[in-house]
Structure 1
Amino acid sequence: MTTRKLITKTLVAAAVCAATSSAYAANIGDTSVSYGGYVKLDAMWSDFSAGTISGDSIGRDFYVPSTTPVGDDADSDAVFDMHARQSRFNFGTSTKLDNGKSVNTKIELDFIASIGGNERVTNSYSPRIRQAYITYDGWLFGQAWSNFQNVGALPETLDFVGPAEGTVFNRQAQIRYSTGNWSFSLENPESTITVNGARVETDDAGIPDFTARYNHKADWGEVVVTALARQLTYKQGGADETTSSFGVSVSGKFNVSGKNNIKFMVTQGSGLGRYVGLNVAHGAVYDGSNIDAIDSTSGFIGYQHHWNEQFRSTFLYSFFEADNNTDLLAFSGNPTESSMSYSANLLYSPVKKLTFGVEYKHAERETESGADGDLDRLQFSAKYAF
């Protein structure tokens, strides 16, 4: 069979499998092609204690700690949102080489934080790149989850992230090498600096961010230890300041009984900024002459209980605490001092890969001045993975 006929056959098979929401994989010569993802509907009722955030805020699509309003209690009506923007798809290849090794690729897209679109008529949103990378002989080149993050520790929630303030969460361009239980990476640098009370994003670092990771797996579960070292830089308006940032994160999963499990993460460091809590705190404060890194501690713990083969629940607690330098409040404005949330859900899978669920989340945020606010959210989701 010619290559052209193989490609035609593959495209036809892909169309059929996509139409029937089935997993797809095929071979073209020495290359295997795979396609997957999921379709998900989210419907959310949200009540903010200190005033409702605007409809175009990302905090209306999923929980983002920094968007929780703080201040005096306001008579704000609850708001209802519904979207399918979390739906995603991925495309991958694996090619066998003459030396017996394989080169693999993956591209993944979704629509959750993309620009464009509106809710007036068509709800059309642009796709955004999540991951795009090449792997070969222990090396990874491209955009992927940061080596500083343990994605496997994230509990199963209806919310897009779940323990948002308590988890390391970052995807970016990187070069990574893995050998045995160890992996090391050089990743794209970016600094979030508070300047005169406002966030300034800079990419003026002279060196990449560096991470190291160790994985340990056993019958009882898994523990992952990661470390981060990087520069925070501010080179604007005549300033040329740099300081160092370091962090350590311990996360993992403990098997309890049957399919029941406990997942956790604890992260501590100086100047972690954008790596933790969806950037609920900035990496540092610029006081006009120096950069002062912000220390923080965060974490979460989640317990998943399987009631039977079709029903399961996750109970989750997450927190973040920043150690802001109170002597610099004149330069840092009113930064977040702490954030916490807890949630519980009930998920039902009548058949494999099809899941319906309901989840309740309560979240609180407090700033250095003592102003606080909270969020109560009830969410329903329907999801089918293919």
Structure 2
Amino acid sequence: MECSRITAALLAASALVPTSALAQDSVEDRLDKLEAMIMALEARMDAQQPTGADAAAVSEMRAAVAETRAVAAKQDALETRVAAVETSDRSGFHVGDTQIKIGGYVKLDAISARTNAGQYANDNIVRDFLIPGTIPVGGGESSGWDTDFSARQTRFNISTSTPIMGKPLNSMIELDFMATPGDGERTTNSYTPRIRQAFLTYDGWTVGQTWSTFFNVGALPDTLDFIGTTPGTVFIRQPLIRYTSKGGLSFAVENPEATITPFGGGRITPGDDAMPDVVVRFDKTAGKNAFSIAAIGRQLKVTDNDTGGNGSDSAIGYGVSASAKIGVGEKDDLRFMVNAGDGLGRYIGLNIVNGAALDADGSLETIASYSGFAAFRHVWNDKARSTIAGSYFKADNPVDLTGGGATDTVWNALANFIYSPVPKLDLGIEYMYAERETEAGLDGNLQKVQVSAKYSF
């Protein structure tokens, strides 16, 4: 009778063991306790000569326990697979110890632009985004509203991270299709991929091609144009070697490339560079605010091959850039950048003016410039935002060397509205006005309306 009472109690207890609703740890604990009770019962049954019914009940309980463990194991395996899929979605995938992530975006731009002092050539890079130094000036005939569709800004990147001696060795390769040759708009609109970035980082070191240390990418405004506030912006990607300390101080040596105005005007790139460009930068973050200040020193050099046998010369260029992104209210922000220097050349505004000019004797004179931009972004709600921005560039050209065709000033202003109906999808419209004036007093303007659709992945 005692054995029968124990059997009945154990059967009741086994009925309370859940097979799916309880957490895994709770199921295992209860099964362990139940098995311990079964073992105790079997020991007592051996001493009391149990009936066949008691033995059958114990066997039934053992089968129930085994079945419950199997169900729990299947549930655990399913949860593990779901977690693995979720982790893969967030963090890419692994090959051995290396984590691999794929990213980028697909973007379509529909641009309609008008210039008042000349016509842009068809299927030319200047029709894809603002290049300030190319705005036509003078008495040329006004263009109509010329419209182009393009997906060339679409980009793709792959990054990796591998633990090496307790620290991650990271790499990035990124491609897009901007500013490259193709078969044009007439048939298939195919364009050659180009390398944007290719670099690795380890323990504070960055080696490869990426954004120049002189350029604070985080300060760029939220625009549909490829750059937006181009006249007032540092914009350079190039091969470099950089070290960044944990305190935010960076030191870099970067690829040198001089752009020189030959006597009377024009542009040459001598390729006689001997010393790398040297950049020092400090970054500071405080809450929603981020600040950056950078300084650069560079050598500009020419030889007999560039001066027509008039001798070799070199000059020192230098400059500073300060920028910030400042939180305004709960979600808005103000972004700005100011730049000043002598011989900055290609670092500002996609090379609006050159770094130096040659005189008749083959001597170099550096060209000073001043530039900057400001942009305010307002977040209307969780799905909509707008940016208004303006930028300005001023050069101090030695006109007796460069001639009157060199750019004196460029400025632009823009406003946009961007709507994101679902995460990572941006639909937007933007209006831009830009104006350029030369040292000779000739001017011209550009108006542009751009509609874009962009999906990031």
**TM-score normalised by structure 2 residue count:** 0.78
Which residue, 133, 151, 161 being the options, matches 2:199? Answer: 133
CA contact (8 A) 1:23 1:36 kept: no
Residues 70 and 245 of structure 1, relative CA distance in 2, 3 Å threshold: same
Q: CA deviation at 1:73?
A: 5.4
2:393 to 308, 320, 340: 320
Whether 1:378 aligns to 2:446 is: no
1:280 aligns with 2:352: yes
Aligned equivalent of 1:361, options 423, 432, 436: 432
Contact persistence 1:349–1:355 (CA under 8 A): yes
The CA deviation at 1:57 is 2.3
Could you tell me the percent identity over the aligned residues?
49
Report Cα offsets for 1:30-70 as digits up to 9, x if no partner. 10001000000000110100011101321101111011100
> 1:92, 1:104 within 8 Å by CA — same for their partners in 2?
yes
State how far apart, in whole Å, the 2-side matches of 1:52 and 1:198 are.
20
The Cα of 1:324 is off from its aligned counterpart by: 1.1
User: In 2 relative to 1, CA 157–285 (structure 1 residues): closer, same or farther, beyond 3 Å?
Assistant: same
Letter of the structure 2 residue corresponding to residue 303 of structure 1: F
Residue from 252, 256, 264 that aligns with 2:324: 252
Q: Over residues 256-292 of structure 1, what are the superposed CA-to-partner deviations in whole Å (9 max), with x where a residue is unaligned?
A: 0111000000000001000001001111110132111
Q: Residue 277 of structure 1: SS of its match in structure 2?
A: coil
CA 52–346 in structure 1, closer or farther in 2 if over 3 Å, else same: same
| Cα distance in 1 for residues equivalent to 2:90 and 2:455 | 11
Question: Residue 170 of structure 2 aligns with which residue?
Answer: 104
- Alpha-carbon distance in 2 for matches of 1:118, 1:59: 14
By how many angstroms is 1:217 displaced? 0.8
1:1-386 matches, cutoff 5 A: 25-72=92-139, 74-97=141-164, 99-179=165-245, 180-196=247-263, 197-235=265-303, 236=306, 237-238=308-309, 239-289=311-361, 290-329=363-402, 332-386=403-457
- Per the TM alignment, residue 220 of structure 1 is displaced from its structure 2 partner at its CA by 4.8
Higher relative contact order (CA 8 A, sep 6+): 1
State which structure, 1 or 2, has the greater radius of gyration over its C-alpha atoms: 2
User: Which whole-Å deviations, capped at 9, do the CAs of 1:214-258 have from their partners, x for residues lacking one?
Assistant: 001112501100000000111223331100000000001110011
Q: Which runs of 5+ in 1 are unaligned?
A: 1-16
CA distance in 1 between partners of 2:340 and 2:321 (Å) = 7
Cα distance in 1 between the residues matched to 2:408 and 2:170: 43
Distance change (3 Å), C-alpha of 1:247 and 1:191 = same
Residues 182, 189 of structure 2: 8 Å contact kept: no
Distance in 2 separating the partners of 1:75 and 1:166: 26
AA of the residue aligned to 1:202: P
Shift of 1:76: 2.2
CA distance in 2, matches of 1:345, 1:212: 34
Q: Distance in 2 between matches of 1:33 and 1:264?
A: 34
CA RMSD of aligned residues (A): 1.3
Deviation per residue, 1:161-206 (Å, 9 max, x gap): 0111110000000000010210110000000000131100122121
Residues 114-155 of structure 1: CA distance to partner in whole angstroms, max 9, x if unpaired?
122311110010000000001111111100100000000000
1:23/1:355 Cα in 2 relative to 1: closer, same or farther (>3 Å)? farther
Matched-pair contact (CA < 8 Å) for 2:119–2:142: no
Q: More helix per residue: 1 or 2? A: 2
Are the equivalent residues in 2 in contact too, given 1:117–1:126 (CA < 8 A)?
no
SS at match of 2:454: strand
Distance 1:139 1:310 in 2: 38
Change (3 A) 1:75 1:93: closer
Aligned length: 363
Structure 2 counterpart SS, 1:191: coil
Q: Retained in 2: the 8 A contact 1:23–1:35?
A: no
User: What SS does the aligned partner of 2:218 have?
Assistant: helix
Contact 1:25 1:35 in 2 (8 A): yes
The answer to which structure has the higher strand fraction is: 1
Distance 1:75 1:189, change over 3 A: closer
Paired with 1:291 and 1:143, the residues of 2 have a C-alpha distance of: 29
Give, in whole Å, the separation in 2 of the partners of 1:274 and 1:354.
33
